[in-house]
Structure 1
Amino acid sequence: MTTLVVCLDRTDDVGRKTGLRSPVVGWEAVRALVTDVGLADPEDSGVNSLLETLRVAQDLRDENEDVVVAVVSGDRESMVSADRAVAHQLDELVAEYDPDSAVVVIDSAEDERLVPIVESRMQVDSVDRVVVRQARDIESTYYLLKQFLADEELRQTVLVPIGLTLLVFPMLATVVGPAEGAAAITTVIGVFLLYKGFNIDELVTGLAHQARESLYSGQVSVVTYVVAAGLTFVGLFAGALGVSSLDDPPGVVIPAMQFAFDSVPWLVMAALTASAGRLLDEAISDEPIRRSYLSLPFIVVSVGLVIRGFSAYFLEQQRVIEPFVVPAYEFGALSNESFAVTAGERLALFVVTAIVISLVGARLASYFSESEPETALVDADVDSDSNTDSSPQSELTDGGPTGSTADADGSDGADE
């Protein structure tokens, strides 16, 4: 009776770390493989699987059984190719050694998926799952703590918040009560976790670096960004004043619409100022202006018109603002009486105007982005033509003195 003790490796860790091709068959070959894998990666659990394979084979040999030890690996390209590679290698082992049964050794759930492939080709008497036990003694724990304390970034990220919490909580519990103190500390910890989770520190560092580079390079956008920030604060203040002027409206929809109605013009001017500065920087630089910078002002105005139109619609429906009245005019033979524009007509006018402006912006951006490459191409053609025209002339110019020198030499030789 011949028993095949096979160690399965679906992801080909053995081949990747040692460079050997599977199957690896034989007691001495597997024993040498243990050394190679252990030297390549001492922390790999595959070393324990190989040792367990040798141990099972030795126990079966002690019971006077014919044992064939083998290591079968898959492929790293895909799971399907890995399974097919294992199946092909098992067919080779069955054809060469004709085992009556098999003992399968695995060390992960990924390798356990290969067990049905082995069962389809021979009888499987046992499946040996290797679980590595790791005991962290006092010395290893001390080593890990020492390494942790040696890392400055980890100390600042973990120890500093814990220390501040332990210091602040007793004071808050004494002054405002335990519940309020715990709520305040939880809020601070939540803000800190969000700050680290969204990488706000990296964003702030990047903005500071960009601002410093802009100042040193003398970009126009630095001034326009400052102006845009001021206009933004003015818009927020105007929106807050508009909300405060309301007479206790129910809900939050009307205050939100009033805030948007009063602040949107200022916010649109801020965005236009910032985009104008960026557009001027692009125009001053040698690089062609990107299409996004050309269409951004039109998009900003369109979005502002849409928000302004919808907020005005809701406010007019609730009679917070008066309907828009077109005044009477008299121009020669033409005359007109004043009339009021309804809320729906005003909204439609704002939306249509926004769509027209966005289309005009997209068309202008497309026109300028298409014309710039053509201009660059014309300039390149002109440069190439000038170089082509100048090269024969230079050759003739260079050839002139050479020819004259040769003639002079020839004449001198003749005289001699």
Structure 2
Amino acid sequence: MTTLVLCVDRSDDIGRTAGLESPIVGWEAVQSLVTDVGLDDPEDSQVNCLLEALRVARDLHDDREDSVVAVVSGGSGSLVGADRALSAQVDDLIAEYDPDSAVVVIDSADDERVVPVIESRVRVDSVDRVVVRQAHDIESTYYLLKQFLADEELRSTVLVPLGATLLLLPILLTQFSTAVALAGLAGLLGAALLYKGLAVDEFLSEVPERVRSALYSGRVSVVTYAVSFGLALVGAFLGALAVSPRAGPESAVVGAMQFVYSAVPWLALAALTASAGRLLDELIGSDGVSTPYLNLPFGVVALGLVVRGFAGWFLQRESLLADPQVLSYAVTPQQRLAAFIVAGIVVSLVGVRVAASVSGEALEDTVQKQ
């Protein structure tokens, strides 16, 4: 099996530089040509094209395949004349060496247009496109764009949001002002990039399979997650109802505190329900309960107490929350906040103690079994 390695020079830059007629055939001839062209113009990309042709021929020789390396070029001022001269040189090489296939080495988009001419005469197994890393011309840009368009993931990440933006722009401009249209498009484009950058699509694609496996495995956490989601919605609804409209620069802070104060108990209950379901799954399993799952319920309660305490302090300072009475004694905002903080710390310490005792018992059982 003989492979013809063709270095294509459609514009005949190599012939004019070296003063030689094409085709130039043979390892030694092409190697000498590299030196001549490189000394005349070291920045010419044809030098890299010639070296790549030699490398391909060497690799084929190492694989115990017969190869013939040759340089073909156009010899006329017009494109048609150049292509005819190049095709005639290819015909001569095929008639002399009778190759079974060819490997075409090119370094520009212009040379790539000759590939169909060569394919009409001999089977082309590969087209080797040489892009010089240091080159910053239009040809390198062309190949980089071609590689970019060949990547399906990059196309879906960049081109799809860009195309949707260009389609929506004239519609929004006809319905809204320029500022509103551009702001809306910027928001949509940012959401699309975050959706892809944070791998939200991958997470959503895995959700049905996770739910299916959880249902088939009989986990209690599936039900508790649904209950916790409902409790979280109730908390958000009650928090929104608790916000009273007020005027002034402090209205936003006060409204946020009213929302937090009313929603935190329900949100904490939702998190406690979800963690309880996960804890039951661990108890039902054969591996025992790990320490993080024991700490989680106590941590949720402690965090809820602290957050509600701070929110109550803000509201009590604004006279939106009545001062609690303890044995006919009015509790100040500072005392109320301190009580909630202390309660949160106590609950957290109790959780640590419970987790440590359970872990110690599990460790003793493991030692006794061994």
TM-score bucket of the superposed structures, by smaller chain:
0.5 to 0.7
How far apart, CA to CA, are the structure 1 residues paired with 2:253 and 2:324? 21
Larger RCO of the pair (alpha carbons < 8 Å, separation 6+):
2
User: Matches of residues 171-320 of structure 1 in structure 2 within 5 Å?
Assistant: 171-243=171-243, 245-248=244-247, 250-251=249-250, 252-320=252-320
Q: Which amino acid aligns with 2:135?
A: Q
**SS in structure 2 at match of 1:315:** helix
What's the counterpart of residue 135 of structure 2?
Answer: 134
> Contact 2:324–2:331 (CA<8 Å) still a contact in 1?
yes
How far apart, CA to CA, are the structure 1 residues paired with 2:359 and 2:232? 30
How far apart, CA to CA, are the structure 2 residues paired with 1:262 and 1:343? 17
Q: Which amino acid aligns with 2:187?
A: T
**SS in structure 1 at match of 2:330:** strand
> Contact 1:235–1:262 (CA<8 Å) still a contact in 2?
yes
Deviation per CA, 1:22-53, whole angstroms, max 9, x where unpaired?
xxxxxxxxx9xxxxxxxxxxxxxxx99xx9xx
Count of residue pairs the alignment pairs up: 242
**SS in structure 2 at match of 1:356:** helix
User: 290-299 or 248-257, which moves further after superposition?
Assistant: 248-257
Q: Larger Rg: 1 or 2?
A: 1
What's the counterpart of residue 159 of structure 2?
Answer: 159
What's the counterpart of residue 378 of structure 1?
Answer: 368
When residues 147 and 358 of structure 1 are mapped into structure 2, their CA distance, relative to the original with a 3 A threshold, is same
> Contact 1:249–1:255 (CA<8 Å) still a contact in 2?
no
Gaps of 5+ in 2: 1-30, 32-46, 52-131
> Contact 2:157–2:196 (CA<8 Å) still a contact in 1?
no
How far apart, CA to CA, are the structure 1 residues paired with 2:338 and 2:195? 42
Post-superposition shift, 1:132? 6.9
When residues 148 and 311 of structure 1 are mapped into structure 2, their CA distance, relative to the original with a 3 A threshold, is closer
Task: Report the identity percentage.
Answer: 51
Deviation per CA, 1:369-391, whole angstroms, max 9, x where unpaired?
121121122233xxxxxxxxxxx
Gaps of 5+ in 1: 1-30, 32-46, 52-130, 327-336, 381-416
Post-superposition shift, 1:340? 2.4
Post-superposition shift, 1:284? 0.4
Deviation per CA, 1:181-237, whole angstroms, max 9, x where unpaired?
222111111122222233332333444443332122111000000000000011111
> Contact 1:173–1:179 (CA<8 Å) still a contact in 2?
no
How far apart, CA to CA, are the structure 2 residues paired with 1:188 and 1:135? 33
When residues 249 and 269 of structure 1 are mapped into structure 2, their CA distance, relative to the original with a 3 A threshold, is farther
> Contact 1:275–1:293 (CA<8 Å) still a contact in 2?
yes
How far apart, CA to CA, are the structure 2 residues paired with 1:189 and 1:151? 21
> Contact 2:157–2:193 (CA<8 Å) still a contact in 1?
no
Deviation per CA, 1:337-361, whole angstroms, max 9, x where unpaired?
6332222222221111111111111
Deviation per CA, 1:227-265, whole angstroms, max 9, x where unpaired?
00000011111111111x354464122112111111111
When residues 162 and 222 of structure 1 are mapped into structure 2, their CA distance, relative to the original with a 3 A threshold, is same
Query: What TM-score do you get using the length of structure 1 for normalisation?
Result: 0.53
